[in-house]
Structure 1
Amino acid sequence: MRMVFRWYGEGNDTVTLDQIRQIPGVEGVVWALHDVPAGEEWPMDKIRAVVDAANRYGFHTEVVESVNVHEDIKLGLPTRDKYIENYKRTIEKLGQVGVKVICYNFMPVFDWVRTDLNRKNEDGSTALFYEKAKLENIDPMELVEKITRNSALTMPGWEPERLQDLSRLFELYKGVTEEDLWRNLEYFLQEIIPVAQRSGITMAIHPDDPPWSVFGLPRIITNQDNLRRFLQLVDSPANGVTLCSGALGANPDNDVIAMVYEFADRVPFAHIRNVKIYENGDFVETSHRTQDGSLDIYGIVKAYHDKGYTGYVRPDHGRQLWGEQCRPGYGLYDRALGIMYLWGIWDSLERAKGEQA
């Protein structure tokens, strides 16, 4: 298990590289060029600037999250080939600077959806919250206003250039079915996976968050059967999955532990986090500790350990603790606590394995 930490870059993150290097066992930062719109080719000078900044603190930059996919590709429009060519050139550039994994997603319009970024918990912390009834009765534009209000920091998947085009996108997605999305994803993979393989990179798709249709939009990376189908679209070692326990685990019908056992060799990058699911379909993001949520984080980590997992892992969304002013879900303290919980489980499993040997 190789521990990494998501970092949004200088001037776009309240967490500094100096702080990250004080978290035990973190060897690299997970990064992206968040100021480059989806569909555009990433400039090499900007790529090298991030790599150089991380290297100065002893971090590698082998995992990128995300190179966003332009909506025209997801929609299968005639213009998609132009954006796919840009995507290929970005993959090639990232390979040149030593990137090994590119995380991306194929979610229409929204990369993830929550109804509250700062839900107050009983202990005084705040966390990302999904209220099912509210989402079913809210206009998408109203949600956009709520999510982006008063934020000086970019929220991944909610970039301004994407959201200002929201009405047109919803019109374009009318009539687009899940099977249409599958076909468009297969076309995209057939184009980019050979380029990734030549570049020494594994593409790792992120599951839909949450793993069900939102605002009537099709979603397909939602469960174990669909992950199996996805991996068969282009059966290549360069075609993999970012297995996110929190995204998939928001649906209580999903068995995340079983997914780890089945797909571990196709998971170059894992997100591990916990969620508490309520009977009415609401869920809130909790600490990483098993007892605090609905997911068996110990069992998930044990599954990776049993499989001899050597891929990259990062703690995912954390709560906002101790008055920290930060990007919701991406503060320093709770993610650092999460890392130490994950290491505690892993180190105990390693100790037990050594004693058995």
Structure 2
Amino acid sequence: MLPPHPDRRWTLAKQLGVHSAVVRFWGVDDWWEYETLMRTRNRFADQGFSLDVVEDRPPMQNVVRGTDGRDAEIETVKNLIRNMGRLDIDTYCWVWTENPLGAIRTSDSVPGRGDSQKTAYDHRWIKGLPDHPAAGITEEESWKNLQYFLDEVVPVAESAGVNLALHPDDPPRTPIRGVPRIVTSVEDYRRILDMYDSARHGITFCQGNFSAMNADIPSAIRRFGDRIHFVHFRDVDGDADSFVETWHDNGPTDMKTAIEAYQDIGFEGPLRPDHVPRMVGEDDRDEAMAGYTDMGRLFAIGYIKGLLE
């Protein structure tokens, strides 16, 4: 995952032989408009990258809550998808989670091997926080609001030729701060995919979250097959209530069998390393936020290349 402007991380990716880019628009306003996406796509192309995934989300608080203003937010998402289609950007990774209840961690300094620092989640610390302003919504309303969104957006994705890849709730547990979360299990995904039967409506298969769901990773990969459009290749030790993110070669999942499962289903889409430990000498700069420091990602990409071979 790279920022929209060239920096050291772009250079490192090229040196590693990475040619497919996943972008997130940190600090960029109205990034879903055609001109911003066009310039970003071409900026990557000029440096030898194919921009294949947008992993970001326009504002969707009203969409998730089902409150006034959701139709305007949905129009923005539709605009993003149409623009991606015009620019041959294949995959949109999105989440169905009320902000700021996205990927939540309660520690970024759990000791790992060689004094590396790992990220973790422990629900007992979240219990001390007040309820979120959206805590009044019910699970039934959440499902209803999701159906409304899919009915509006999936036909646009079909027309634009863009894959919708829904990321799990992270952590995959419900509720958090009084807000129900409905993308927390294999069963939830089965229901969600059945809500709109389309090849364009699929999954970001985040292995760490599926592991925290206590899912059998290779079996789940084979179960969802061609509905997997994007992969986050990582692992965790623990469950949805308490887990630590591991080194890629040191978690409970057999990562080789996971790679073999992707090969068995014929997966040829984008796969990226995710959430790595912080190594010695890496600081707390914003561009090196916990889970996305450079040295751990270098290790992860080398490890993935080795598994693929």
Q: Paired residue for 1:77, among 60, 67, 74? A: 67
Q: Is the 8 A contact 2:20 2:270 kept in 1?
A: no
The 2-side partners of 1:53 and 1:126 are apart by 33
Q: Which residue of 1 aligns with 2:253?
A: 295
Q: Deviations 1:228-269 (Å, cap 9, x if unpaired)? A: 111011101110110100122123x32222210111210111
Alignment of 1:204-215 (within 5 A): 204-213=165-174, 214-215=176-177
The 1-side partners of 2:261 and 2:270 are apart by 15
Alignment of 1:103-252 (within 5 A): 103-109=93-99, 110-136=101-127, 138-139=128-129, 170-171=132-133, 173-213=134-174, 214-251=176-213
Q: Which residue of 1 aligns with 2:15?
A: 22
Q: For residue 69 of structure 1, report the CA deviation from its aligned partner.
A: 4.8
The 1-side partners of 2:110 and 2:58 are apart by 28
Q: For residue 302 of structure 1, report the CA deviation from its aligned partner.
A: 1.5
Secondary structure of residue in 1 paired with 2:114: coil
- Gap regions ≥5 residues in structure 2: none
Secondary structure of residue in 2 paired with 1:211: coil
TM-score (normalised: structure 1):
0.80
The 2-side partners of 1:71 and 1:250 are apart by 26
Structure 2 CA distance for partners of 1:18 and 1:122, relative to 1, 3 Å: closer
The 2-side partners of 1:117 and 1:90 are apart by 33
Structure 2 CA distance for partners of 1:83 and 1:201, relative to 1, 3 Å: same
CA-based RMSD:
2.0
Return the letter of the residue paired with 1:283. Answer: F
Alignment of 1:274-313 (within 5 A): 274-277=235-238, 281-289=241-249, 292-313=250-271
Q: Paired residue for 1:45, among 32, 35, 39? A: 35
Q: For residue 327 of structure 1, report the CA deviation from its aligned partner.
A: 1.5
TM-score (normalised: structure 2):
0.91
The 2-side partners of 1:309 and 1:234 are apart by 22
Return the letter of the residue paired with 2:52. Answer: E
Return the letter of the residue paired with 2:15. Answer: Q
Structure 2 CA distance for partners of 1:96 and 1:218, relative to 1, 3 Å: same
The 1-side partners of 2:141 and 2:177 are apart by 17
Q: Which residue of 2 aligns with 1:88?
A: 78
Secondary structure of residue in 2 paired with 1:268: strand
Q: Is the 8 A contact 1:33 1:42 kept in 2?
A: no
The 2-side partners of 1:129 and 1:323 are apart by 20
- Gap regions ≥5 residues in structure 1: 1-5, 141-166, 348-357
Q: Is the 8 A contact 1:41 1:89 kept in 2?
A: no
Q: Is the 8 A contact 2:58 2:76 kept in 1?
A: no
Q: Which residue of 1 aligns with 2:278?
A: 320
Secondary structure of residue in 1 paired with 2:5: coil
The 2-side partners of 1:94 and 1:281 are apart by 36
Q: Is the 8 A contact 1:33 1:47 kept in 2?
A: no
Q: How many correspondences in the alignment?
A: 303
The 2-side partners of 1:113 and 1:68 are apart by 19
Q: For residue 30 of structure 1, report the CA deviation from its aligned partner.
A: 0.4
Q: Is the 8 A contact 1:115 1:130 kept in 2?
A: yes
The 1-side partners of 2:280 and 2:33 are apart by 38
Return the letter of the residue paired with 1:130. Answer: Y
Secondary structure of residue in 1 paired with 2:232: strand
Verify: 1:344 aligned to 2:302, yes or no.
Answer: no
Verify: 1:100 aligned to 2:90, yes or no.
Answer: yes
